[in-house]
Amino acid sequence: MIRRGRGIDAVKGDRVEIVVDAGDTTRAYEVVASRAGRRVETAVRRGVVEVSEVTRSGSVVRTARFMANRVLALVEHPVPRVEESEAAGERPLRDDPRS
């Protein structure tokens, strides 16, 4: 299962945290989209969890692979997206009950 739901708008800062059972302890790893325009994709195939940093064109920059039966948690942390009107300092088009 490949997650491609975020599409082209994925930007620098997307990250995935993987917690793995290492016998008597747990270890945490992170894969981060280190540059603008890159995204992090996850896939589970044949008992292996694969987390990859991918460029806009789809070429893989780096990959982390873990045995699926050892993975305790896979947490995706997307960067909060800012609407264009909010970035320009204008009032957002939607009604916000908090304002």
Average pLDDT in the chain = 78
Which residue would you say has higher pLDDT here, 51 or 84? Answer: 51
Q: Cα(69)–Cα(48) distance, rounded to whole angstroms? A: 8
Q: CA end-to-end span of the chain, whole Å?
A: 40
Q: What is the mean pLDDT of residues 26-37?
A: 87
Closest to 76 measured CA to CA, from 20, 13, 8, 7 = 13
CATH T-level assignment (fold) for domain 7-80: SH3 type barrels. (2.30.30)
Specify the pLDDT at position 99. 57
Predicted confidence (pLDDT) per residue in 50-81, tens digit: 998 888 888 998 999 999 999 999 998 877 76
Query: What pTM did the predictor assign?
Result: 0.64
H or E element: which one contains 31? strand 26-32
Domain boundaries, the chain: 7-80
